[in-house]
Amino acid sequence: TIGNLLDHSAGFYGDDTTDTGSNDDVLARYVAERLPLLPQEFPLGEFFSYNNVGFTTLGRLIEVTTGTSYYAAMSDLLFAPLGLHSTFLERSDVLQHPYADGHVTMPINGTVVTTVQLPLWIVNSADPAGGIWSTTRDVIRYGRFHMASDTVAGPANVVSPESLAQMQEPMLPIPGTSLWMGRDWFVQDIEGFRTIGHGGD
C-alpha Rg value of the chain to the nearest Å: 18
pLDDT at residue 77 in the model: 92
* Whole-number Å distance between alpha carbons of 4 and 185: 14
* Whole-number Å distance between alpha carbons of 89 and 164: 23
138 and 85 Cβ atoms separated by less than 8 Å: yes
Q: Which helix (H) or strand (E) holds 197?
A: strand 193-197
pLDDT at residue 153 in the model: 47
Q: Which amino acid is at 39?
A: P
Find all residues with CB under 8 Å of 66, minimum gap 6, and list them: 72, 73, 77
Residue 157, Ramachandran bin (φ over 0: left; ψ between -120 and 50: alpha; else beta): left
pLDDT at residue 33 in the model: 97
156 and 76 Cβ atoms separated by less than 8 Å: no
185 and 197 Cβ atoms separated by less than 8 Å: yes
Which stretches does DSSP call E strand in 67-192? 103-108, 111-116, 172-173, 180-181, 186-190
Length of the chain equals 201
Per-residue pLDDT of the chain (201 residues; tens, 9 = 90+): 999 999 999 999 999 999 999 999 999 999 999 999 999 999 999 999 999 999 999 999 999 999 999 999 999 999 999 999 999 999 899 999 998 888 889 998 999 999 998 888 889 999 999 999 999 999 999 988 888 755 544 455 688 888 888 899 999 999 999 999 999 899 999 999 999 998 765
Residue 139 main-chain phi, psi, to 5 deg: -65, -40
pLDDT at residue 54 in the model: 98
Query: Cα dist. 26→32, 46, 50, 198 in Å?
Result: 10, 30, 22, 26
Which stretches does DSSP call E strand in 14-139? 103-108, 111-116
pTM: 0.89
